[in-house]
Structure 1
């Protein structure tokens, strides 16, 4: 029998791709019509998807009692590049009506066995850690044993994408031995997360658990292996456009390009445009390149964020272009069969707002599935 889940703030349904075929989605929700169209295109029509503001969703619209609730709630107000509003912000504040639904499910005897939240790293530190404490208090208030990890997609994909995950287990369930540790692990629990635990109430601290995730196997893909020879939806820049990018680089970044020219064969790098202050304090737009075979973190092309650019160096020849939408999807761990929106910005936004599918799979294998299996066996016994 498949495990069941709800997918809140579902976007294009990337969490479902990560969970895999042993999971069945009972309910999904998003407010963005374009993302909803992508969800339906990639999930057999998506009959389970409700296109509606989460604050307007009622508990009567939620079917059954799910094994897992996954919620990638909006990150804009928690992001280090955001406005600092945190959970009080209009967008990240959508956590509150979502959690109201979780409380209602519990009150009706349908509390999810597992609840997993996903957000940016800034969720740990926003508002001096008080937003993190608020999330912890929410889990503790419903009697969950809970903990958090920071997982970088770079362990699985050639993309630098650290994300915060908080996972809570319903109080009546057994957590199998070995799935928690006595203390933090540097790979999954950075200092900011350890420090954040100091803000927890005594009750919340008593329910905190250090999740013991296995170290993933060495990644076997690099950026160059994902780059399309004939890119979809984008064209190579003209020589003048490439020169413009090179002229935007500092000496430090130009030296990276010069070093790439000395390598045998083609070298693939990525560029983001960022505003930096020069030696005189004047802010200028700069092109910053990396050639470490890892893409920078995909971001949405809204709010001033630039879109990621590919730079291909082959001897003295240097070419550049925008990252293609298919390449962006690959950097999120989505299959080549994933149906993308036709418009470039819609497809790029879909990827930049999503969750890396292999990270979800790692959490499922390490936490969700072993706990559900252990407790189902207990029921049979």
Structure 2
């Protein structure tokens, strides 16, 4: 098969591109964040890149006809941590101008046969499921059938990062039986996804596909494997800073640290500072740790509490520091030679806002590429 092609919207630093790999051809990429665009150019070159607002993109900017459109559109208004504006929000609402481009491509007969939308799982429940219904309705209105998967990056990298992937197929072509299932899989089809699908109007449920996705091989990378003793760009906290973090812990989280001390070996964990409410309703900052061989989900560093902290417990001693930019890149499945911004916050923002590359590769290998092979065979037979 000739190398399939794609347009990548909301491309960031090109993490979907990293996941799709060299077996795919990028024809066009777009992101409005000029800092991210600098990183995109540093890693991929700028020939296909259109920096700027998606509202300024027209079909004349898109060469040829792509096999796939990948769109990891902004999640902030759909996230449980956001303000709840949903698809009407300033950031997540950019889905609509993006989809106007898809609609315009269809009018020109250049619509992609495959489309992937990626976002946070909050997209399933935002506005009582109405936003998810709106996404599905938009796809159906342009002749797509679709299904969704919830994939936790923890299956591939040592980071807890569940994300929603909607995979859409255009037209009446019937996907090969080995790519679909009549019975949802508990590995990929969560209770929240099942509920969201059940809420869809009958006409949209008629368009639904339960995608079959192979389970990946067991993850062979531990959190400890990606943490450096001498990290670049961040310093270990002094004793007082570490003690201040420990003092913010609840009894449950202190118990986790004590258990790590008793483990008799080097224990690597992570910590987030979170705002919680006390029994009297008063806000307080808590330090919440985990030692389950997974980092917490990377987030964009809007405030100090959004920056993840590494905890090392060894020989009864606790050390702490910010996670380094290179360590966040490893948590996203990016190679060591991936070029990151020099500024720490810019690098953290880039990685915390991206798609985990091995997840994109798994979807491509087990759904997108087999679909394209079947589609091309169907087209040749029809001709």
Instruction: Tell whether the structures are fold-level matches, with TM greater than 0.5.
Output: yes
Aligned equivalents of 1:313, 1:305: Cα separation in 2 = 21
Aligned equivalents of 1:54, 1:380: Cα separation in 2 = 35
Give deviations 1:280-331, integer Å, cap 9, x for gaps.
3322101111011100000000167520000101012111000000000000
Aligned equivalents of 2:325, 2:105: Cα separation in 1 = 38
Show the counterpart of 2:72.
72
Asked if structure 1 preserves the Cα contact closer than 8 Å seen for 2:34 and 2:52, the reply is no
Show the counterpart of 1:203.
203
SS of the equivalent of 1:7 reads strand
Aligned equivalents of 1:12, 1:370: Cα separation in 2 = 26
Distance 1:52 1:286, change over 3 A: same
Show the counterpart of 2:279.
279
Aligned equivalents of 1:326, 1:311: Cα separation in 2 = 16
Residues 17-36 of structure 1 correspond to what in structure 2 (within 5 A)? 17-36=18-37
Aligned equivalents of 1:7, 1:227: Cα separation in 2 = 31
Show the counterpart of 2:9.
8
Give deviations 1:258-297, integer Å, cap 9, x for gaps.
1111122211110000011223332210111101110000
Residues 153-164 of structure 1 correspond to what in structure 2 (within 5 A)? 153-164=153-164
Question: Once the 2 structures are TM-superposed, how far is the Cα of residue 208 of structure 1 from its aligned partner?
Answer: 0.5
Asked if structure 2 preserves the Cα contact closer than 8 Å seen for 1:137 and 1:200, the reply is no
Aligned length: 380
Give deviations 1:70-112, integer Å, cap 9, x for gaps.
0000001000011111001111000000000000000100010
SS of the equivalent of 1:84 reads coil
Aligned equivalents of 1:294, 1:108: Cα separation in 2 = 46
Residues 177-326 of structure 1 correspond to what in structure 2 (within 5 A)? 177-302=177-302, 305-326=305-326
5+ residue gaps, structure 2: none
Give deviations 1:311-368, integer Å, cap 9, x for gaps.
1010121110000000000000000000000000000000000000011011001110
Question: Once the 2 structures are TM-superposed, how far is the Cα of residue 250 of structure 1 from its aligned partner?
Answer: 1.2
Aligned equivalents of 1:278, 1:202: Cα separation in 2 = 44
Distance 1:197 1:218, change over 3 A: same
Show the counterpart of 2:145.
145
Post-superposition, which runs of at least 4 consecutive aligned residues in structure 1 deviate over 6 A?
none
Asked if structure 2 preserves the Cα contact closer than 8 Å seen for 1:174 and 1:374, the reply is no
Asked if structure 2 preserves the Cα contact closer than 8 Å seen for 1:140 and 1:203, the reply is no
SS of the equivalent of 1:18 reads helix
For normalisation by structure 2, the TM-score amounts to 0.97
Show the counterpart of 1:129.
129
Deviates more, 1:70-79 or 1:261-270: 261-270
For normalisation by structure 1, the TM-score amounts to 0.98
SS of the equivalent of 2:147 reads strand
Deviates more, 1:138-147 or 1:173-182: 173-182
SS of the equivalent of 1:276 reads strand
Show the counterpart of 1:40.
41
Give deviations 1:185-236, integer Å, cap 9, x for gaps.
1111111211112332332211100011111111111100110121011000
Question: Once the 2 structures are TM-superposed, how far is the Cα of residue 374 of structure 1 from its aligned partner?
Answer: 1.3
Asked if structure 2 preserves the Cα contact closer than 8 Å seen for 1:174 and 1:375, the reply is no
Q: Give the aligned CA root-mean-square deviation in angstroms.
A: 1.2
Aligned equivalents of 1:250, 1:293: Cα separation in 2 = 21
SS of the equivalent of 1:151 reads strand
SS of the equivalent of 1:286 reads strand
Tell me whether 1:55 sits opposite 2:17 in the alignment: no
Asked if structure 2 preserves the Cα contact closer than 8 Å seen for 1:269 and 1:292, the reply is yes
Aligned equivalents of 1:145, 1:228: Cα separation in 2 = 45
Aligned equivalents of 1:177, 1:339: Cα separation in 2 = 41
